[in-house]
């Protein structure tokens, strides 16, 4: 499992992980409203970047490292022609 952002680190408001090939924003408030019970499953890295942009716009702190890491992976994949 890869952890991109976690609430215990860097004051992040979101927890973003990858389990196998599933890219997830765990207990996402955008997905579940106030209940924080539903996960957001991104359909690819670009979709997760858009999703995290949304969090940022709404005032949620998303650590810059999470963006950097996802973008690096995205660049990697497209270099290898996997996208």
Q: Footprint of Zn ion on this chain (CB under 5 A)?
A: 25, 28, 30, 40
In the bound state with Zn ion, the residue whose beta carbon lies nearer, of 28 and 70, is: 28
Q: How far is the CB of 55 from Zn ion (least distance, A)?
A: 6
Q: How far is the CB of 27 from Zn ion (least distance, A)?
A: 9
Please say whether the beta carbons of 55 and 7 come within 8 A: no
Q: How far is the CB of 20 from Zn ion (least distance, A)?
A: 19
Please list the residues that pair with 42 across neighbouring strands.
23
In the bound state with Zn ion, the residue whose beta carbon lies nearer, of 58 and 78, is: 58
B/e letters for 10-42, b = 16+ CB within 10 Å, e = fewer, are eebebbbbbeeeebbbbbbbebeeeeeeeebeb
């Amino acid at each position: 499992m890869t952890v991109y952002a976690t609430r215990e680190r860097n004051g992040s408001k979101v927890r973003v992980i990858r389990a196998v090939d599933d890219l997830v924003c765990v207990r996402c408030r955008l997905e579940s409203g106030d209940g924080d019970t539903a996960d957001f499953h991104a359909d690819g890295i670009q979709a997760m970047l858009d999703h995290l942009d949304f969090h940022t716009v709404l005032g949620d702190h998303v650590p810059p490292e999470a963006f950097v890491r996802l973008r690096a992976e995205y660049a990697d994949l497209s270099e290898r022609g996997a996208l």
